[in-house]
Chains A and B, each alone.
Chain A
Amino acid sequence: MGVDVRDDIQQWRIALASLLGLAIEDDWASGIDANLAVLADNMRLVEGLQLPDDLDPATTFEA
Chain B
Amino acid sequence: MSERSRGAADIATAVTQRQLKAGDVVAAALADIAARNASVNAFTNVTADRAIATAVRRDAQATGRATSLPLAGVPFAVKNLFDVAGLPTRAGSRINRSAPPATTDAVAVRRLEAAGAVLVGALNMGEYAYDFTGENVHDGASRNPHDPARMSGGSSGGSAAAVAAGLVPIALGSDTNGSIRVPASLCGIFGLKPTFGRLPRTGTFPFVSSLDHIGPFARSSGDLALVYDALQGPDLEDAVCSGRPVEPVTPLLDVPVSNVKVAVAGGYFASGLGPEAQAAMQRVASALGARASIELPEVARARAAAFLITASEGAALHLDRLRTHAAAFDPATRDRLIAGAMVPAAAVIKAQKLRRWFRDRVLRLFEDVDVIVAPATPCTAPLLGQQTFHIDGRELPVRPNLGLYTQPISFIGLPVVAVPVPLDPMPIGVQIITAPWREDLALRIARRLEQQGVVSAK
Contacts and interface: CB of A to CB of B under 8 A. Distances in A.
A28 B339 contact: no
B196 to A, nearest CB: 4
A29 to B, nearest CB: 9
B210 A61 contact: yes
B308 A39 contact: yes
A43 B347 contact: yes
A2 interface: no
A45 B349 CA distance: 14
B351 A46 contact: yes
Given A20-B319, A46-B347, A57 B352 contact: yes
Contacts of A51: 350, 353-354, 357
A27 B322 CA distance: 16
A8 interface: no
A46 B354 contact: yes
A56 B353 contact: yes
Contacts of B4: none
Interface string A4-40: 0000000011001100111110001001101110110
A3 interface: no
Contact of A46 (B326, B338, B350): B350
Contacts of A58: 210, 352-353, 355-356, 359
B341 A49 contact: no
Contacts of B338: 17, 22, 24, 28, 32, 35
A49 B301 contact: yes
B342 A36 contact: yes
Nearest to B307: A42
Nearest to B343: A39
Nearest to A45: B304
A32 to B, nearest CB: 5
B308 A42 contact: yes
Interface residues of B, number: 46
B420 interface: no
B116 interface: no
Contacts of B343: 39, 43
A28 B334 contact: yes
Contacts of A34: 335
A16 B311 CA distance: 15
A63 interface: yes
B336 interface: yes
Most chain A C-beta atoms within 10 Å of own C-beta, residue among B319, B336, B338 = B338
Contacts of B400: 38
Contacts of B342: 12-13, 16-17, 20, 36, 39
Interface string B306-327: 0110010000000100110010
B300 interface: yes
Nearest to B337: A35
Interface in B66-108: none
B197 A63 contact: yes
A46 to B, nearest CB: 5
Contact of A57 (B300, B307, B353, B412): B353
Contact of B339 (A35, A56, A61, A62): A35
Nearest to B349: A57
Nearest to B195: A63
Given A16-B342, A57-B353, A58-B356, A31 B307 contact: no
B413 A61 contact: yes
A61 B196 contact: yes
B298 A49 contact: yes
B332 interface: yes
B413 A63 contact: yes
Contacts of A47: 347, 350
B253 to A, nearest CB: 22
12 contacts: A28-B338, A31-B335, A39-B339, A43-B344, A45-B304, A46-B301, A46-B304, A46-B351, A49-B301, A57-B353, A63-B412, A63-B437
Given A42-B307, A58-B355, 20 more contacts: A23-B323, A23-B326, A28-B326, A32-B335, A38-B339, A38-B400, A39-B307, A39-B311, A39-B340, A41-B304, A42-B304, A46-B304, A46-B308, A46-B347, A46-B351, A51-B353, A57-B352, A58-B359, A61-B240, A62-B196
